[in-house]
Structure 1
């Protein structure tokens, strides 16, 4: 079971990592750099639309693994079409088709979590180990793309397409877990997944969703602006430096089962949120001289920032949703609020802050920009500490 689910996570995030990391470079190389902002806005928009229409609605009537088969096979076809559209003449069409693909892909993130969590049953402490292979898949895709010399080539989508089709076929062999059962009510209530949203009547879960959405704002800013900041600090190997964060993610992913059993839900979530504030505070003092250590340490904190909140949050969401039997819907809702609403807000707010910088920002300019997300993350962590209370007292032993 663990091997099968690990392979699922590996391919799930290999697909995304194969094209996401160097898409901006590809678009700039072929002469459509002016559309980069539009292209990177498609993911958050797709998270909102896709999570609602597919990840949360269709899962009520179709088994999660069959949805994985359908979405990845159809998505693979679209990926095969994308390279031919990355041209100055067809750039607009490329962005729209990318949106179509992302509407299919983003729900599969929540579906993969659902299949793994439901398959493990009460042994949810196995989930972080399996999820770690998603990070390994992301790293592996980058290494393969770089080794093949495709970093600036539209063929990054072809690589992703091959793995997408493979995952679609492989998904037929995944463990069979039941679709969320309709619990009555009007058709309109079913379409808009009122049952999943009703979980937020639980005050603690409402606080968690609100803070998860808010903390996704600085997450988006990290993905968009960490690389130019690291470059401005005088570090030549930007890609290698940022990979430190992925390695950190792996370390903490593997340690999370023990941490979960030892400390419980709230401490992990709180540490994850506080780590965002610390990371941006480090970025605000890091420079290319004596403060270079702060840049490296800020990047290395990615494992704490991501795993302690987003991986722990997926497990917490599964625990809350289990009694009502709306696990898939709840995971889709979490994706909608974090990768959708939060990341979209982060993209827009980050763009506004970036627009205030000079054309060629110095390290001092970047330091001033990072103060804003540092303060925001600290305020969110404080809000979470004061308002969140885990009444369930669940342990994962």
Structure 2
């Protein structure tokens, strides 16, 4: 089997694991275990806490001491054990700590899977800008199929979703044993203390362009957390209107939300064209415009025929909003940094987006939602319009502050560093 197909299988399993429980675990904890909203929020906060700490540290270990693919195996074995144990937990405090262990192991594997893919493609003389998106799209397919499987087999309110995720983690760990070795960076003579401690990627903050990029990555990570946290509750709240109680939106909100991931497939495949044609600055601006539309369409969408069209359009633009920021940002990091700090830099990007950004987004958006909640009723239109204004403001600031000269020839071969 060719290396591209092997990487596609790895990507599929990587995100199948996440899709098995990420969207539906909250419903299981509330409806089956009787957790409160605050307790569910604390359990979900483990992702942000872990992403602040672990991806950069694990990236350093992968660059300096343990080959990335071997570390990847160890982490997924830990995930398998944690998820298996979580399926038997009914106490919110224990669930928090068990899923924190899982998050500490899982969050770094996202950046490591990128590093493994880039290294294998480069070693086999493939253009990473063109070759990586079709590989990463299989991760999105895995996430979608996991969501649909859990829903169609009626495991949304069952601990079976955790058993399935644990099984998939074990399968991925075993499968990764067959992947090519990803060597650590060669030790250099006369290293300074920064290099010896493996903190090279943090030196990127000395470059104004890279520092700005990471700041905006964090701010966009907050946007992503907003939609992940409140998209499903927003759709469920339409049940309070008797005219919408039996609507598709209220009955199958997770399936409707999965259209967002389906849209990702098309936009991932479009990334190489847009990056080579327009460069990272314009691609990121398109992402920020898409986030603005995502929230603006939510503000006016509902289960009525016309409102449903607006909700569907919101799901479709999500694919652009997410991919043009997340996947393109990963490729941009790969293009700009030296290969000996590749894993560290990818880990740092993950930390800013899914760590700091996720934590800031969850705290800030929660306060906004509470502020616009009166007698248990949320003013969703105002909430979404405020979030849309935030995304638009980010786009304006990014346009005027981020200096980037697009050089298409540099994207012709990402493996060549300048």
Cα displacement (A) at 1:134? 0.5
Please tell me whether residue 2 in structure 1 is matched to residue 18 in structure 2.
Answer: no
Please tell me whether residue 196 in structure 1 is matched to residue 201 in structure 2.
Answer: yes
Cα displacement (A) at 1:276? 0.8
The equivalent of 1:116 in structure 2 is: 117
Cα deviations by residue, 1:66-120 (Å, 9 ceiling, x for unpaired): 00111111221122111111x1xx3211211110111011000000001111222
The equivalent of 1:21 in structure 2 is: 23
Specify every segment of 5 or more residues in structure 1 that has no aligned partner in the other structure, as ranges.
Answer: none
Please identify runs of 4+ aligned residues in structure 1 that moved more than 6 A: none
The equivalent of 1:38 in structure 2 is: 42
Cα displacement (A) at 1:190? 4.0
For residues 341 and 225 of structure 1, the distance between their equivalents in structure 2, rounded to whole angstroms, comes to: 18
- Note the 1:34-113 alignment, pairs <5 A: 34=37, 35-85=39-89, 87=90, 90-113=91-114
Give the TM-score of the pair, scaled to structure 2. 0.88
For residues 373 and 83 of structure 1, the distance between their equivalents in structure 2, rounded to whole angstroms, comes to: 35
For residues 308 and 154 of structure 2, the distance between their equivalents in structure 1, rounded to whole angstroms, comes to: 30
Cα deviations by residue, 1:328-373 (Å, 9 ceiling, x for unpaired): 00000001000000011111011111212135435xx101011222
For residues 241 and 145 of structure 1, the distance between their equivalents in structure 2, rounded to whole angstroms, comes to: 14
Aligned 8 A contact 1:217 1:345 in 2:
yes
Question: Which residue among 368, 379, 396 is the counterpart of 2:393?
Answer: 379
Moved more, 384-393 or 175-184: 175-184
Paired residue secondary structure (1:218): helix
Name the CA shift for 1:293/1:161 in 2 (closer, same or farther; >3 Å): same
For residues 181 and 384 of structure 1, the distance between their equivalents in structure 2, rounded to whole angstroms, comes to: 37
Please tell me whether residue 336 in structure 1 is matched to residue 351 in structure 2.
Answer: yes
Specify every segment of 5 or more residues in structure 2 that has no aligned partner in the other structure, as ranges.
Answer: 239-243, 414-418
Moved more, 371-380 or 127-136: 371-380
For residues 362 and 88 of structure 2, the distance between their equivalents in structure 1, rounded to whole angstroms, comes to: 27
- Note the 1:1-397 alignment, pairs <5 A: 1-28=3-30, 29-34=32-37, 35-85=39-89, 87=90, 90-121=91-122, 123-124=127-128, 125-182=130-187, 185=191, 190-191=196-197, 193-233=198-238, 234=244, 235-236=249-250, 237-289=252-304, 290-321=306-337, 323=338, 325-356=340-371, 357-361=373-377, 365-391=379-405, 393=407, 394-396=410-412
Cα deviations by residue, 1:19-63 (Å, 9 ceiling, x for unpaired): 111111110111123410101100000111212332333542111
Moved more, 33-42 or 62-71: 33-42
Paired residue secondary structure (2:66): coil
For residues 218 and 54 of structure 1, the distance between their equivalents in structure 2, rounded to whole angstroms, comes to: 25
Aligned 8 A contact 2:62 2:343 in 1:
no
Name the CA shift for 1:93/1:181 in 2 (closer, same or farther; >3 Å): farther
For residues 249 and 288 of structure 1, the distance between their equivalents in structure 2, rounded to whole angstroms, comes to: 23
Aligned 8 A contact 1:19 1:156 in 2:
yes
Cα displacement (A) at 1:201? 2.3
Paired residue secondary structure (1:31): coil
Cα deviations by residue, 1:120-170 (Å, 9 ceiling, x for unpaired): 226112111100011011011112222332111112111111111111111
Moved more, 293-302 or 59-68: 293-302
Paired residue secondary structure (1:19): coil
For residues 405 and 153 of structure 2, the distance between their equivalents in structure 1, rounded to whole angstroms, comes to: 51
For residues 250 and 324 of structure 1, the distance between their equivalents in structure 2, rounded to whole angstroms, comes to: 28
Aligned 8 A contact 1:199 1:320 in 2:
no
Aligned 8 A contact 1:180 1:328 in 2:
no
For residues 51 and 411 of structure 2, the distance between their equivalents in structure 1, rounded to whole angstroms, comes to: 30
For residues 56 and 11 of structure 1, the distance between their equivalents in structure 2, rounded to whole angstroms, comes to: 24
